[in-house]
Amino acid sequence: MGVLFEVKRGAVHDGPGWRTTVFFKGCLLCCPWCHNPEGISPGREMWFIASRCIRCQRCVAVCPSDLPVPATGDLQAERWSECTVCGRCAEACPTAARAVVGMEWSAEQLVQELARDRPFFDASGGGVTLSGGEPLLQLEFLLEVLSACRRAGLHTALDTSGYTSRGALLRAAALCDLVLFDLKHLDEARHEELTGVPITPILENLQALDQQGVGLWVRYPLIPGHNDDRATLAQLADLVRGLRSQPLVCILPYHRVGMDKYARLGRTDPLGDVLPPSDAEVEEAATRLADRGLRVRVGG
């Protein structure tokens, strides 16, 4: 069994064609621009959408831990650990203001669901993208899903930060058609400052994938003031130019979709003051990379 937080149909920025993206829970990185904060924790979580609350207090009545969960959705920070994520408040809520984030799926159940979208995959050259979070944290479930998708003839893409063991990454890559490899920053100190993990093992894994001849795209989130300067883009260009496969580079402009999600989880958006890059800034970054001989796409 695996723990997922969303199965999203009609994704067009997670690989080629029309795709269904499966979001795995759990990630070892702590990128401040993360737009899926509900995917960071490996376990189930509760979230609250304040605008939907009608203050009926049914959630209070059914909570087995007798937690103070008033209409605002606030809990005293020291009492959050007492929530067992039983989901009774979500079941009692008539407006879906409360929800459990993270549901268990079997590989068989998931692939049956994914196969329903085969007509869209066939018409567009699309398929299934396994994302997160970090899918490789649930390795055995991931391998089971990839194997079942291959038997079903579904194109698969794995979206990964690359922060994992070499063996795990290569086992998964051998079962998928494409790896979407996310790079956040190329400077060792800055990468660890931003994400909480070192860049060296990630780059070593990227080189290993390249040597294996795996289908590969490099994805780069463009975050104003963090990794959009000329020097960092030049480092990215030099790295990709040195790869044998000469992968496509996908620039992913920062957006603020995750802001509301942080509030729903009772957290503060760590990048709340940063604005998305303008179209001109995105185009400039893409041009700088293309001028150094890279194949570049905005999105994807």
For the chain, 300 residues long, give each residue's pLDDT as a single digit of tens. Answer: 999 999 999 988 899 999 999 999 999 999 999 999 999 999 998 888 888 888 888 888 888 877 755 444 454 444 566 788 888 988 999 999 888 999 999 999 999 999 999 999 999 999 999 999 999 999 999 999 999 999 999 999 999 999 999 999 999 999 999 999 999 999 999 999 999 999 999 999 999 999 998 899 999 999 999 999 999 999 999 999 999 999 999 999 998 887 888 888 888 888 878 899 999 999 999 999 999 999 999 987
CB atoms within 10 A of CB 108: 11
Please give the CATH number for the structural domain made up of 45-101. Answer: 3.30.70.20
* pTM attached to this predicted model: 0.91
C-alpha triplet 134, 136, 139: angle, nearest 5°: 140
Question: Would you call 5 exposed, middle or buried from its count of C-beta atoms within 10 A (0-12, 13-18, 19+)?
Answer: buried
144 φ/ψ angles, rounded to the nearest 5 degrees: -65, -40
Alpha helix stretches (DSSP H) within the chain: 58-62, 88-92, 107-115, 118-124, 139-151, 166-173, 188-195, 200-212, 230-241, 259-264, 279-291
Residue 5 CA to residue 36 CA, distance in Å, equals: 10
Residue in 125, 143, 114 with CA at minimum distance from that of residue 22: 114
198 φ/ψ angles, rounded to the nearest 5 degrees: -75, 155
Strand 178-182 and strand 156-160: the pairing is parallel
How would you list the strands of the sheet with 296-298, edge to edge? 103-105, 2-11, 19-24, 127-131, 156-160, 178-182, 216-222, 248-253, 296-298
Q: Which residues pair with 47 in a beta bridge?
A: 99
Strand 103-105 and strand 127-131: the pairing is unpaired
User: Which residue intervals of the chain bear CATH 3.20.20.70?
Assistant: 2-41+105-298
Would you say how long the chain is, in residues? 300
Residue whose structure tokens are 């294996």: 212
Q: What residue type is 132 in one-letter code?
A: G
Protein fold of 2-41+105-298 = TIM Barrel (3.20.20)
Whole-number Cα distances in Å, 31 to 189, 192, 203, 271: 14, 10, 17, 9
Q: According to the model, what pLDDT value does residue 9 have?
A: 95
Q: According to the model, what pLDDT value does residue 70 have?
A: 45
Q: According to the model, what pLDDT value does residue 60 have?
A: 82
User: Which residue intervals of the chain bear CATH 3.30.70.20?
Assistant: 45-101
Q: What residue type is 171 in one-letter code?
A: R
